[in-house]
Amino acid sequence: MSDPLDRVNAAESFDAVDIIRTKRDHRDLSDDQIEWVVDAYTRGVVAEEQMSALAMAILLNGMTHRETARWTAAMTASGERLDFSTLRAPGGGVRPTADKHSTGGVGDKITLPLAPLVAVFGVAVPQLSGRGLGHTGGTLDKLESIPGWRAALSNDEMMAQLEGVGAVVCAAGAGLAPADRKLYALRDVTGTVESIPLIASSIMSKKIAEGTGSLVLDVKVGSGAFMKDERQARELAETMVALGLDAGVKTVALLTNMSTPLGLTVGNALEVEESIEVLAGGGPEDVVELTVRLAEEMLACAGVHDADPEQALRDGRAMDVWRRMIAAQGGDPDAALPTAQESEVVYAPADGVLVELDAFKVGVAAWRLGAGRARKEDSVQAAAGVRLHAKPGAFVRAGEPLMTLLTDSSDRFGRAKQVLEGAAVIAPAGARPAQRLVIDRVA
């Protein structure tokens, strides 16, 4: 008697092994091969070990732009695609949409003030975000430190909030790019995460399926970023911009510095607190600078050229939208944020100029304190993290606080302090060379 699976496979258009061999042997995949293998993997016809082999072949041998674009389109087509064309502008007509995606960093709370800031100017911001893993924080984890706030919204709820408030930050539904959800988990455990075509198609398939009219990419570079090397970061940015334009989404990218944590806080509730300071017209200079620059790019992509985002932070308009945005998702914008039960201060060992503060080490310390997770199913501590008291360029004296470690579990301090050894470099004299926050623009 024949195996039922053999009969199913016999009815398929291609054979997975032949496709693996094609890429293994440095040959290009056809459009039909790509569309079939993505669809068949999503349906379970292509086995996990077969897709693992193909992903490794892609990592080693790369993809042409045509292959990457077709792979992205196939992953986008694996699920639903949202449509915001019915959103109406306050004065009539179709309301433009703009989104921002960051490749992840330490202290990167920019989405929180950015979404309401852009919405001030009549541009709808459908921000579908994720949770943190490892040393990089997740936007949803940060917002969930606000009492009552919920990440899960139906498509109808999201549309209603965009109509009424102008901005929404929520979890992506299971129907968006299910092929990517399945492949992302596989890449994570098979050593194929670093493939630029697979990174680019993973990010862009979700963003294209999201239905936004324009997209600004914040591609981080430095020790605290996924991309440590500027050349690779630029290649990723150029690939994603091209994919967006191919799909009809106005797309630009900024390469931004992630050698030092953004702002003075790393951790969920801590970063919400700092974001509220920015929305109140204050906050650290680097967080304000990047928020305003990204807002300008998003507004320009959406066709709004006469806006002053910096003024909207100072005069309270962005704060008004933030409060409505949080309340619309069940959160209490006036509620006290969680505070850590335990704290420990790390002091400067010598007088001098703080010339380096390693973002990766600070991010890992916050993770070990409870602010992050090692596995997707892990829980996080809302109040855990690191509060910085000095940034590179500041003069510090021996015995002054450099940072405060915060957690609900005092047994976490030891491993956090261990990773922080060498994170802060203090020079006896002299100024630290200025580092640009925004390295370049890719369009």
DSSP label of 410: G
> β-strand 352-357 against 424-427: which pairing, if any?
antiparallel
Q: Which amino acid is at 154?
A: S
Instruction: Exactly one of 201, 202, 214, 275 is catalytic; name it.
Output: 202
- Is residue 375 among the annotated active site residues? no
Q: Which amino acid is at 137?
A: G
- Is residue 32 among the annotated active site residues? no
Rounded distance, CA 262 to CA 107, Å?
5
Instruction: Exactly one of 70, 101, 317, 323 is catalytic; name it.
Output: 101
Rounded distance, CA 96 to CA 303, Å?
8
Rounded distance, CA 355 to CA 259, Å?
11
Rounded distance, CA 173 to CA 175, Å?
5
- Is residue 206 among the annotated active site residues? yes
Residues 6+ apart with CB under 8 A from 144: 151, 268, 382
Q: Where does 127-177 have alpha helices with state H? A: 139-143, 155-164
Instruction: Exactly one of 180, 218, 286, 358 is catalytic; name it.
Output: 180
Instruction: Exactly one of 206, 250, 387, 412 is catalytic; name it.
Output: 206
Rounded distance, CA 395 to CA 290, Å?
24
Rounded distance, CA 289 to CA 262, Å?
11
- Is residue 436 among the annotated active site residues? no
Got the DSSP string for 364-397?
HHHIIIIIS-SSTT----TT-EEEES--TT-EE-
Instruction: Exactly one of 95, 109, 187, 234 is catalytic; name it.
Output: 187
- Is residue 101 among the annotated active site residues? yes
Residue 115 tokens read as: 């979404």
Residue where the block lists tokens 């060379």: 433
Whether residue 174 contacts residue 42, with contact meaning beta carbons closer than 8 Å, is answered with no
Task: Return the active site residues.
Answer: 101, 180, 187, 202, 206
